[in-house]
Amino acid sequence: MKITRRVVLALSLGAAVVSGAAVAQQAQFINILTGGQSGVYYPLGVALSQIYAKAIPGAKATAQVTKASAENLNLLQAGRGELALALADSVSNAWKGDAEAGFPKKLDKLRGLSATYSNYIQIVANADSGIKTLADLKGKRLSVGAAKSGTELNARAVLKAAGLAYSDLGKVEYLPFGESVELIKNRQLDATLQSAGLGVASIRDLATSVKIVVVPVPADVIAKIGDDAYQSAVIPANTYAGQTADVATAAIPNFLVTHSGVSDELAYQMAKQMYEHIDTLYAAHNAAKVIKRENAIKGMPVPIHPGAARYYKEVGLIK
Please report, rounded to a whole number, the percentage of residues in the chain having pLDDT higher than 90.
86
Indicate the range of 17-31, 69-83, 207-221 predicted with least confidence: 17-31
Q: CA 153, CA 89: separation in Å to the nearest integer?
A: 9
Task: Give mean pLDDT, residues 141-162.
Answer: 93
Q: CA 186, CA 178: separation in Å to the nearest integer?
A: 13
Is pLDDT above 70 for 94? yes
Give me the amino acid identity at 262: V
Q: CA 24, CA 41: separation in Å to the nearest integer?
A: 30
Q: CA 125, CA 131: separation in Å to the nearest integer?
A: 6
Given this model, what pLDDT does residue 4 score? Answer: 53
Given this model, what pLDDT does residue 62 score? Answer: 98
DSSP strand E in 230-311: where? 231-235, 247-259
Is pLDDT above 60 for 170? yes
Task: Give mean pLDDT, residues 86-98.
Answer: 95
Given this model, what pLDDT does residue 10 score? Answer: 47
Please report, rounded to a whole number, the percentage of residues in the chain having pLDDT higher than 70.
92
Residue 61: beta bridge partners? 30
Is pLDDT above 50 for 19? no
Dihedral sign (CA 132, 164, 178, 184): negative
Residue 52 is classified by DSSP as H
Task: Give mean pLDDT, residues 223-240.
Answer: 95
Is pLDDT above 50 for 155? yes
Q: CA 167, CA 198: separation in Å to the nearest integer?
A: 29
Task: Give mean pLDDT, residues 167-175.
Answer: 97
Burial of 53 per CB tally in 10 Å (0-12, 13-18, 19+): middle
Using pLDDT thresholds of 50, 70 and 90, give the confidence band for residue 100: confident
Nearest to 168 by CA among 156, 151, 150: 156
List, in order, residues 6 or more apart from 259 with CB less than 8 Å away: 76, 77, 79, 82, 109, 110, 111
pTM: 0.84
Domains, the chain, ordered by start = 27-117+255-314 (3.40.190.10), 119-252 (3.40.190.10)
Given this model, what pLDDT does residue 18 score? Answer: 43
SS3 string of 240-296? CCCCCCCEEEEEEEEEEEEECCCCHHHHHHHHHHHHHCHHHHHHHCHHHHHCCHHHC
Given this model, what pLDDT does residue 175 score? Answer: 94
Nearest to 159 by CA among 197, 193, 183: 193
Residue 304 is classified by DSSP as B
Check if the beta carbon of residue 134 is closer than 8 Å to that of residue 224: no
Given this model, what pLDDT does residue 146 score? Answer: 86
Task: Give mean pLDDT, residues 247-260.
Answer: 98
Q: What pLDDT, in 10s, does the model give residues 32-50?
A: 999 988 889 999 999 999 9
Q: How distant, in Å, are the alpha carbons of 202, 240, 311 from that of 199?
A: 9, 7, 31
Q: CA 310, CA 318: separation in Å to the nearest integer?
A: 8
Q: CA 131, CA 213: separation in Å to the nearest integer?
A: 7
Is pLDDT above 50 for 99? yes
Task: Give mean pLDDT, residues 299-305.
Answer: 97
For β-strands 83-87 and 28-33, DSSP reports them as: parallel
